[in-house]
Amino acid sequence: MNYAARRFAVDCMLALALLEHPALIRGQGIPHFDLDAGDLKLSGPAEPWRFVNAVGEKAGVWGFESGVLEGWVYPLKVFHDFSLAFQIEGSPTIYPAEHLIRSVRVRPQSVDLQYSAERFTVTETLFTPRHEAGFVILLESKSSAPLRVFVRFRP
């Protein structure tokens, strides 16, 4: 399959997912749930240059602790140069996530990247099921005011 056909297929899948779940478009999110980790985990301060991944047999998310990522559903690269930025409502400042990375927690089934600024904290969870062709990037925020999240990537 050539690049244009792959890109069209990915764009169609994303559009269908958004149309089936209009709450995602409105930013209402999903109810909070825990990914039970048990006792096995490594955590510490983030080093933006250090490699991080959440992989399964059919898909994976790779990148750096700075939060710059790429996602694959084998053999198709779904996106690359994925990054986040944040803006507090009423503030003109946009905070790139790679400047706010504070800590990392690695568990057998997922990776958590924590971003912090004065008025908010965001935890990004990278999860890839072991036997399924897909992955999930979850964001959980704690903020003193409404928070706008910008997601940037290249297909």
pLDDT tens string 104-114: 999 888 999 99
| Preceding peptide of 75 cis, ω within 30° | yes
Asked whether residue 61 is assigned to any structural domain, the reply reads yes
pLDDT at 134: 92
52 — pLDDT class (breaks 50, 70, 90):
very high
89 Cβ contact list (under 8 Å, min separation 6): 145, 146, 147, 148
Stretch 83-96: mean pLDDT: 95
pLDDT at 115: 97
Residues 123 and 48: their CA atoms lie apart, in Å, by 15
Answer for the pair 84, 115: CB distance below 8 angstroms, yes or no. Answer: yes
Looking up tokens 């140069």 gives 81
Asked whether residue 34 is assigned to any structural domain, the reply reads no
Asked whether residue 65 is assigned to any structural domain, the reply reads yes
Asked whether residue 112 is assigned to any structural domain, the reply reads yes
78 Cβ contact list (under 8 Å, min separation 6): 10, 71, 72, 155
40 — pLDDT class (breaks 50, 70, 90):
confident
The CATH number of the domain holding residue 89 is 2.70.98.40
Structural domains counted in the chain: 1
Which domain covers residue 106, as residue numbers?
Answer: 41-154
Average pLDDT taken over every residue of the chain: 84
19 — pLDDT class (breaks 50, 70, 90):
very low
Residue of 114, 137, 122 lying closest to 46 (CA atoms)? 114
Asked whether residue 28 is assigned to any structural domain, the reply reads no
**Angle, alpha carbons 80-135-27 (nearest 5°):** 85
Residue of 52, 80, 82 lying closest to 64 (CA atoms)? 52
Stretch 121-136: mean pLDDT: 94
Asked whether residue 145 is assigned to any structural domain, the reply reads yes
pTM above 0.75, yes or no: yes
